[in-house]
């Protein structure tokens, strides 16, 4: 069984304010972030999207990444035009860490 490219990489959580987010817009945003991360990874800077999550009552969205640094996550977000307010180190449980 081979490990995913994200295995063993540090985790980072990007957070941004997202008013009036619909499921459709969340899917579009997730695709943009995924494409951005894939482009960076293809250029030798591995960034992997593990989860995108919306808290509609709070109008806040989160994206969990596996990457070598928060700067790579910032670059992925900027390329995807995601208006993040912060990026913080995250610790996940072993189930998420194996992705």
Q: What is the pLDDT of residue 84?
A: 93
- In the sheet with 11-17, reading across from the earlier edge strand, the strands are 47-55, 60-67, 11-17, 86-90
pTM over 0.95: no
Torsion on CA atoms 83, 52, 29, 55, rounded to nearest 10: -70
Checking if the pLDDT of 14 tops 50, the result is yes
Class in CATH terms, 11-91 = alpha beta
76 confidence band (pLDDT: 50, 70, 90): very high
Q: What is the pLDDT of residue 21?
A: 78
Q: What is the pLDDT of residue 97?
A: 47
Q: What is the pLDDT of residue 10?
A: 93
């Amino acid at each position: 069984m081979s490990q995913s490219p994200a295995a063993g990489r540090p985790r980072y959580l990007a957070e941004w304010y997202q008013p009036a987010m619909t499921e459709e817009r969340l899917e579009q945003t997730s695709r943009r972030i995924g494409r951005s991360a894939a482009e960076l990874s293809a250029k030798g800077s591995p960034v992997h999207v593990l989860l995108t999550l919306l808290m509609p009552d709070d109008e806040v969205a989160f994206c969990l990444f596996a990457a070598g640094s928060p700067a790579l996550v910032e670059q992925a977000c900027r390329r995807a035009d995601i208006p993040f307010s912060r990026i913080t180190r995250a610790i996940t449980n072993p189930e998420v860490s194996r992705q």
